[in-house]
Structure 1
C-alpha cells in the first residue's frame, strides 16, 4: 500500500478537512456503533450501487448473533484499522477518524460489560454446567420459535419458558438424588437463574450508557469518544502505538488527492455523474499572419483555478456561494464491479498526496489512451455534511481541438436509518377493568432473551473470530468508504436538488471566461469559443439530473 510508513509528526493532531458545520453526517454514522437494533436493519440502508450484507452463522447458534451496534463497530474497526487493510475511499463531508473512534469507544464499553458477564458465567454457569446447558437449550428453542411471524408461535415460546420453570420447581421439590448430588442438582437449577438476574443489572446499566451516547450524537455530539488505549503511555506499548498510527494513517488517506472512477457508479466518494457540458472548438490564430503562441493544458487549468477562487465573491451582498474546496484530482479508472482499488505510489506520492509536478504532467500528457487523468474539482460540503456537490473540470487538446468539459457529481444524505433516535421500548396492553381500552406499558431496555444472548457471547469476546463464525458478521461493500456506502440520492430532497442544479451555471460561466481569457492572450481566435459558450450558458439554465454515465449504446 502506498505511503505505508506515513505517520503524523509529534504534536497535536488536528483534523484537516472537518469543519464545524460538517458534523451531522459524521455523528449519524458514528451513532450506529451504539445501536441495539437487529443487525439486518442495516440492509435497509443499501443503495443502488453499494450493498452491505450480513453473513449468518450456523442455524443452531443464532443465540450468538450480534446486534447492529456490535456488528457495525467491529466491521468498521477491522476494515479501517486492521492489519494489511485495503485502501479506503475518501468520506467527503465526514471525519472518518471520529467515526472509528466512536466504534472503538463502543467496543471498549461492551468489553468492560463482557468482563463482568464472563465472571457471572463462570460463577453461576460454568461451575453448574449441566443446569446452564439445559436453560440455554430452552432459551435457544424459545428464540427460534419466537422469530416466527405467527402469533401462536410467539405465545408458544412464552408458554415453553413458563412450563420449563414449573418443571424446575417440581424437580427441586421432588429431588431424585440424595446427599451431595442432590444439593449440586438444586444449585445447578437455581444458580443460572440467579446469574441471569445479576447479568440483567449489568446489561441494563450498559444499555442505558450506549443509548445515551446514541442520543447525544444525534442531538449534536455532547459525549465524546474515550479511547485511552490509543494513547501510548510508554515506548513499550506497541499495541497503543499501532492504534495511534492507524488513526493517523486514516486521517492522511482521507486527504488524498487520488480518486477512482467506477463506470456507472461515478467517482467513488463523490457520487454519480448527473450532468456534463463540453466546449470543444478548433484552435485557429486570431491573426492569419501569425501563429498561435504555444501554451499547454495546465496554463488553461491554472487560469480556471485562479478564477474559481473568487466564487464566494459577488456584486451583490445577498448570500451566494460559501467558500468551496478547490483541488486538483488524479482520477484512476477501475471496473464497475471492482472489489479493491490501488492508490498511486512511488516517488511522486507523499503521504497519499500526488505531488504537483506529477499532476501537471498528467494534465499535459495523459489525455488519450490508458492511464490516470487530471480533473480540477470544486467541492461544497453543505447541509452539515449531508450533501456533497462536486463540479469537475478537465482540459484536453487533441490535434487542433481544445475541449473543456465540466461535469457535475452529487452525493446525497446518509440513509435515514442512521438519523433515527433511540425510542423507549413499549407495548400496548389492555386495561385491567376497562378491557376495551389500551394503555402503553414501558418495557425494560434489555429483555430476557437479550440478557441470555449477551451472557453467552461474553466469554467468547476475548477471541472475536469465534463469535464471527458462530453468530455471523456484517460484510461491508467494497471498495469501502464510510460516506458513500450508505448515501441516498439527493434528488428526493427538493432543496438539496436545487443546490446541486444551481451550482452548474456559475461554474460553467467562470470556467469558460477563464479559458477564453487564456486563448485571447495566446493569439487564438475565440469567436467560435464565445458562440459555443453562449449556447452552453443558455442550455445549462435548464439543467436537470440524469444518469450521465449510463450510455444508451
Structure 2
C-alpha cells in the first residue's frame, strides 16, 4: 500500500527552517505539543522548527530508557526517524565548522566578539517590535556601532601587541561572520533541497551512517537496536483505548452497530452444538478476506490488512502506556493462543479485550480506515459489535513547500506600486544565531535549558499526534462511510453461517441483521466515544 505521501510530509519537518512555534498550528484537539521558550536573555540561542523537531523525535524514539510508542498507521515511522537523523547530521557538520570559526574568530578575540554579539542581540530584539520604526532604529544601531569600530581602528588607544590585538578583535569577528555565512548558506540550500524533494515525490533517501555499526558496542549499534525496536512496536498487535480520544493511533470511534439476540436451538428439545467466540471470529476473518473480490468490474476495495488486536484501556489523560510482556508476547506481539484466551474469556469486567480489525490505508497514507469487530457471549445472549474508526490526513502544515525568501517594497519613482525583492537565504541574524548555538550543540541539555525546545505530545505516535479529522474532506469522508455497509454485511453473513452450522436458530438474528443493514445505509459520523449521560 502506498504510504509515502504522509511519511514524506512528516519527514520534511526535520528540514524546515520556520519558527518552532509554528508546529502548534498542527496540533489537534486531543494531542498538544509544548514549545519551551528561551531564556529572556538567551533568545539568540532559540532553535528553529527543523532543529527542534528532529532533536525531539530522535530523543523520543531512540533515546535510552524511552517510553513505549504508539503505532503510526499509514506512516513508516522508521523512515521519518532516519530523515531526522540525516537532518541532524547535516546540522552537526555545519555546527562543527561554525564552532571552529567561532573559536578562531571569536573566542580567541573574546572582547570584540562579545561586543558584536551584544550589538546583534540588541538589533534583533529591537527589530522584533511591531513598531514600524523599530527596523530603522535597529539598522541605525548597527551602523553606529560600525562607525565606532572604524574610529577605534583609526584612533587606537593602545600600542604594541595590544594595538594589533585590538584591531584583530574588531575585524576578525566580522571576517568570521562572512565565513560563517558561507557555511550556513551551503547547509541551508542542502536542507531546503531535501525538504522540497520529499514533498515533490522525489523520494530523496536519508543517509544515516549513525545506524551502521563499525564495531560491537559502539553508538551506532545502539541506534540500530532502537530502530529495530521501533519497527517491532510498529508491528505490535497491542493498542490502547483512551476514552474520548478513541484507540490511540486509529482515531476516534465515529460509528457503532450491534447485533444482539438470544441463542436458541433450531431444533426444539435439542441443544445446539457448543462453540466459542473464537469460532465466530475465525469465520468473520475468512469473510473479511474476501472483501476485495466483487462480481462487478470496478475498482472496489484494495486488499485490506486484517489483524487480531488486543485493546488495553488507559486513562483519558494518561501520559504513558505500558506494552504487554511475558511468555505470551513475542517482540511486542501477543501470541495467537493468548489472543484466543482473551477472545473467549475476557468479555466482562477488567482486563484487555479482543477485537478483529480490518484496515485500509488510502490516499497515499493520509487516510486510515479501521473497522473493529468483537464477539461476546453473556448468559444466552450473543453480541456482535462493529465499530468504525477513521484517522484523517496529516495536518496541511507538513505539506507546505519551502517558499522563496522575498518581500514587497515600494518602487522608487512610482511609489504607489510595489515590487518583490529577493532576500538572502540566510540573513545576518540567522548567521549569528547559528554561530552562537554551534559550540553548545555538543551538550544539548544546556542548549535546551538556554534556548528552549519542543516537547512532543504524550502518549506519542508520529501519525496520530498531527492528524486532522477526515470529515472536512468530502471524498475521504465518503470512503470512510462507504466502508461500513459492506463490512457490516460480511460480518453478519459469516456469523449467521457459523450459528446455522452449529444448530442455532438464526431467525431473530437474521431479522435484526436486516434492520441494521438498512440503517447503516444512512450512516453519519458521530462522536461515539463521547457518551451523553
Tell me if TM exceeds 0.5: yes
Secondary structure of 1:461 counterpart: helix
After TM superposition, the structure 1 stretch with the greater mean CA deviation from structure 2, 173-182 or 438-447, is 173-182
Counterpart mapping for 1:102-181 below 5 A: 102-181=83-162
Counterparts of 1:277-316 in structure 2 under 5 Å? 277-316=257-296
- d(CA) in 2 for partners of 1:30, 1:221: 13
Q: Partner of 1:9 in structure 2?
A: none
Once the two structures are superposed, the pairs formed by residues 335-374 of structure 1 within 5 Å of their partners are: 335-374=315-354
Does the alignment pair 1:412 with 2:409? Answer: no
Distance 1:222 1:313 in 2: 32
Equivalence for 1:227: 208
Residue 355 (structure 2) aligns with: 375
Aligned to 1:67: 48
Q: Secondary structure at the match of 1:128?
A: helix
State the match for 1:214 in structure 2.
Answer: 195
Q: Residue in 2 aligned with 1:505?
A: 485
Displacement, 1:179? 2.3
Q: CA deviation at 1:432?
A: 2.8
Please state whether the residue corresponding to 2:222 is helix, strand or coil.
Answer: helix
Pick one of 302, 309, 321 that aligns with 1:322.
302
Which deviates further from its counterpart, 457-466 or 402-411?
A: 457-466
The offset of 1:170, in angstroms, is 1.9
Is residue 248 of structure 2 the alignment partner of residue 268 of structure 1? yes
Q: How many residues align?
A: 533
Does 105-114 or 177-186 show the bigger shift? Answer: 177-186
- The Cα offsets for residues 383-439 of structure 1, whole Å up to 9 and x where unpaired, read as 000000000000000001000000000000000110000011001112233333222
CA distance in 2 between partners of 1:68 and 1:128 (Å):
32
Provide the C-alpha distance between the structure 2 equivalents of 1:50 and 1:155, rounded to a whole number of angstroms: 41
Q: Distance in 2 between matches of 1:89 and 1:335?
A: 15
Q: TM-score, normalised by structure 2?
A: 0.99
> Given that residues 27 and 221 in structure 1 are in contact (C-alpha distance below 8 angstroms), is that contact kept between their aligned partners in structure 2?
no
Select the residue among 333, 346, 365 that pairs with 2:313.
Answer: 333
The answer for unaligned runs of 5 or more in structure 1 is: 1-18
The alpha-carbon deviation at position 25 of structure 1 amounts to 0.4
Q: Are residue 198 (structure 1) and residue 179 (structure 2) matched?
A: yes
Q: More deviation in 101-110 or 428-437?
A: 428-437
Aligned with 1:441 (options 415, 421, 429): 421
TM-score, with length taken from structure 1: 0.95
What RMSD in Å do the two structures reach over aligned CA positions?
1.0
Shift of 1:230: 1.1
Partner of 1:10: none
Equivalent positions of 1:434-473 (< 5 A) are 434-473=414-453
